[in-house]
Amino acid sequence: MKFFIDTADINEIKQAHDLGLIDGVTTNPSLIAKTGKPFKTVAKEILKIVDGPISLEVIATESSQMIKEARTLAKIHKNVVPKIPLTLEGLKAVQVLSSEGININQTLCFSATQALLCAKAGAAYVSPFIGRLDDISSDGMKLIEDIVTIYKNYQFKTQVLVASIRHPLHVSGAAKLGAHVATMPFKVIMQLVKHPLTDLGLNQFLNDWKNVPKNKIS
Ligand code: G3P
């Protein structure tokens, strides 16, 4: 399972990268806006740090404009994966861009039928937003199960990129279902390693070690 960081915050990306924990980055217009920096500046900073797929989202909503924007984004760097919303116009754009060999991450997926259409259009990734489904009392993880099953049934090559992850249970749930990628905020990456029993156990080991007689250094 690949781990992507879902942020445009350069410090967080650097920290996660230095820890060797991330394989790629996903951004969206809201995350870019939070940085207070121009889009291209942020994109270039991210591309310098991480050598893996970097999702950058198009702003256009009409297919021919989406295609134009995605082609421009893809030209910035070989690692750029243009992100296109899962609308009818988005599907039209994905068909064209995929046939040109451009890897697309189709985003804002909230149903199994949307994911099926996205795979048929040839997207490299589909991004189902599980946290936002949970927020409205819908089962986000059930959607991942459905998509993974459908993609297996027809051997689709589209990778399931689980997005809108809010906590570690989302990550382990997606991993159990065999999702290809989980994209998560920095905070969740840090939560994955923490366990109070690990900290307690280590403390006890180190305290007990003080009672082990020491050899005399000759
Ligand atoms: O990048 C897309 C997605 O992960 C957004 O997550 O927390 O805004 O629902 P969230």
Residue 195 is assigned to a structural domain of this protein: yes
* 217 lies in some domain: no
Question: 163 - beta bridge partners?
Answer: 129
Residue 142, in any domain of the structure: yes
Cα 151 off chain centre by: 18
List the residue whose alpha carbon is closest to atom 4 of ligand 1.
Answer: 164
Q: Is 126 a pocket residue for ligand 1 (Cβ < 6 Å)?
A: no
CA 195 to ligand 1 center in whole angstroms: 25
State which residues form the domain around 137: 2-209
Name the residue of 3, 6, 126, 160 whose CB sits within 8 Å of the most ligand 1 atoms, as the mutation to test its pocket.
6
Q: Kindly state whether residue 196 falls inside one of the protein's structural domains.
A: yes
Residue 76 placed within a domain: yes
Ligand 1 contact, 183 CB (< 6 A) = yes
How much is the pLDDT for 216? 78
How much is the pLDDT for 83?
98
Quick check: is 66 in a domain?
yes
Q: How far is the CA of 140 from the centre of ligand 1 (A)?
A: 13
Q: Which atom of ligand 1 lies closest to the CA of 55? A: 1
Q: Is residue 47 part of a domain?
A: yes
Question: Is the distance from the beta carbon of residue 7 to the nearest atom of ligand 1 less than 6 Å?
Answer: no
Neighbouring-strand partners of residue 24: 4
Tokens representing 4 are 């992507």
Per residue in 148-173, pLDDT tens? 999 999 999 999 999 999 999 999 99
Domain at 105, CATH number: 3.20.20.70
Angle at 84 between CA 155 and CA 179, to 5 degrees: 35
Return the ∠ at Cα 53 (arms to 175 and 3), rounded to 5°: 25
Residue 218, pLDDT score: 63
Count structural domains, the chain. 1
Query: In the chain, what is the greatest distance between 2 CA atoms, to the nearest angstrom?
Result: 79
- The pLDDT value recorded for residue 123 is 98
Over the stretch 179-206, which tens digit does the pLDDT of each residue have? 999 999 999 999 999 999 999 999 999 9
The reply to whether ligand 1 has any atom less than 6 angstroms from the CB of 57 is no
Residue 154 CA, ligand 1 centroid: distance in Å: 28
Q: Which tens digits make up the pLDDT trace of 32-84?
A: 999 999 999 999 999 999 999 999 999 999 999 999 999 999 999 999 999 99
Asked whether residue 89 is assigned to any structural domain, the reply reads yes
pLDDT tens-digit map of 22-39: 999 999 999 999 999 999
Q: What is the predicted pLDDT for the residue at 214?
A: 87
Instruction: Average the pLDDT over 110-119 and give the result.
Output: 98
Q: Which residues are catalytic?
A: 83
Query: What pLDDT does residue 105 have?
Result: 98
How much is the pTM?
Answer: 0.95
Per-residue pLDDT, averaged over 106-118, amounts to 98
Q: What is the 3-state secondary structure (H, E, C) of 75-91?
A: HHCCCEEEEEECCHHHH
State if residue 164 touches ligand 1 by the CB under 6 angstroms criterion: yes
- Of the pLDDT bands very low, low, confident and very high (cuts 50, 70, 90), residue 121 is very high
